[in-house]
Amino acid sequence: MDTRNDRGGVGMGSLGRPPGGRRGGLAAGPRTLCLTIVVLIAVLATLAVIVTRYEALRAWRLEAVDEEAIARLEGEATALVIARDVAAALGALMLGFLLYFGIASSRRSREDREEQEGLWRALSEARDELEDRVRSRTAELEERTSQLVRINEERICSEARARLILDSASEGILGIDRGGRLSFSNKASMELLGFSPEDFSGLPVHGLFHRKCPDGCGFPQGGCPLYDAVARGIEVRNAEETFWRRDGSSFLADFSISPLSEGPGEPDGAVIVIRDITERKRAQDLLEESERRLRSIIDNSPLGIVHLGADGVILSCNERFAGIIGVERGLIIGIDAVSAASSDEMKAAIRKALRGARAEYEGEYVARSGERPIPLHVIFNPIEVGHDPTAVIANLEDVTYRREVERELNEHIEELERINRLTVDREERMIGLKREVNDLLEASGREAKYKIVEP
């Protein structure tokens, strides 16, 4: 391990090396000094014991009278003298070593001070560098903390916006995990189903709002198309099912399922969007019933009714219209009405109506088959008055019978006028005769017989 820092100083690893560790020998440090002093004290104590013993042997020798005892005492005295000399030599050696050690220690103290000063300088530099690194790391941590706080605030705001969007949606939105359990929901879904999020805690949603069929019998989860789509990750659009509220009432729902997945593989769940279409379905049924009644009225109308697109193409017609012009209904659809018109007056009326103005036409229509002319009275009503172009609804009336009636009526009127003229002539002649009779009676002096009233 390198014990030096990046700027050439001594790192923290150098603090564990003992001072003077590069020098062996006598300059071994305080432990060597202590050991030397202990040895010196032991030598001095041994020397003192030897000297004391030697003096005691000399006193015993002077008092001894036995030659054998004298010889034994002289041998002990000789050994003590040798031990004294050895102890004295060791003491001198220890004193020399202490003197050398003191001189060496003085020189070593200067080197240690220089080395310590160097170590302190390196330590100060290392400390300054460490403080710089700590400040830099602290700034990085503060910046990272600020970023994390900012990210957390953004996440909280994002979650709040997502919750606001969810709760603002008019459709019910449910998040379902792979087990079919609720993971999130919005306010509309709970109001629509009559449940609270706590009611869904740990329970499959199928058993709560899709537990029964429309007829009220049980609906097993295994056959639930909603649960199957969630489990298999299938996308479903605008499907219809009967869902059940908490209070036991049901409603017809339009739902869509979008799988949730963070990557390839099995989906993590799905989002279900639910709409209550009960009113819409009821309105649709009413509209379909109204359309059926309207279609029945149109099909049974005594007038021919035809629907022209804004381009003049026939889009639909009733059977009466097909019967009037003598063409099968299926062959009429898609024909250009302007091109099919048999007269310029009819074409002009059709073009006028397509430009957004009401138009009428009465005249004869000659079919392409070349059959006899059909007298028609047609009223063209633009769907958007004043809009050019616009679709047109036309009512056709076959006026053949009306013209026959009008002809017969005209003949009756002429006969009545002839009879009336004859009657008026007779009345005028009668008045003339009565006047002549009155004149004759007055001339003969008699009273007039007839009272004449002028017509």
pLDDT exceeds 60 at position 61:
no
CA distance 443 to 226: 121
Sheet holding 182-185, edge to edge: 182-185, 172-177, 269-276, 250-260, 236-244
Question: Residue 81 pLDDT more than 50?
Answer: yes
pLDDT in tens, 263-312: 676 777 888 888 888 888 888 888 888 888 888 888 888 888 899 999 99
d(CA 412, CA 66): 207
pLDDT at 402 over 50: yes
Q: What is this structure's pTM? A: 0.43
**Top-confidence residue, 437 or 61:** 437
Grade residue 374 by pLDDT with cuts at 50, 70 and 90: confident
Nearest CA among 185, 238, 179, 181 for reference residue 205: 181
Long-range pairs, 108-113, Cβ under 8 A, ≥24 = 108/20, 108/23, 108/27, 111/20, 112/19, 112/20
- Where is pLDDT greater, at 6 or 432? 432
Q: For residue 11, which amino acid is it?
A: G
Query: What is the pLDDT at residue 359?
Result: 92
Phi and psi at residue 74, to the nearest 5° = -65, -35
The model's pLDDT over 323-346, given as tens digits with 9 standing for 90+, comes to 888 788 888 888 898 888 888 898
Asked if residue 327 lies in contact with residue 345, where contact means CB atoms within 8 angstroms, the answer is no
Is 409 or 6 the better-scoring residue by pLDDT? 409
pLDDT, residue 84, reads: 64
Q: What percent of the chain has pLDDT over 70?
A: 70
Q: Does residue 381 surpass a pLDDT of 80?
A: yes
Stretch 86-98: mean pLDDT: 69
Residue 380 has pLDDT above 90, yes or no: yes
More confident residue, 398 or 390: 390
Q: Is the pLDDT of residue 20 over 80?
A: no
Flag whether pLDDT at 365 surpasses 90: no
pLDDT digits (tens, 9 = 90+) for 153-193: 888 888 788 778 877 777 888 888 877 788 888 888 888 88
Amino acid 106: pLDDT: 66
Please state, rounded to an integer, the average pLDDT across all residues of the chain.
Answer: 76
Q: What is the mean pLDDT of residues 425-435?
A: 71
Q: What is the pLDDT of residues 126-139, one digit of tens each?
A: 888 888 888 888 88
- Give me the percent of the chain exceeding a pLDDT of 90: 5
pLDDT at res. 71: 64
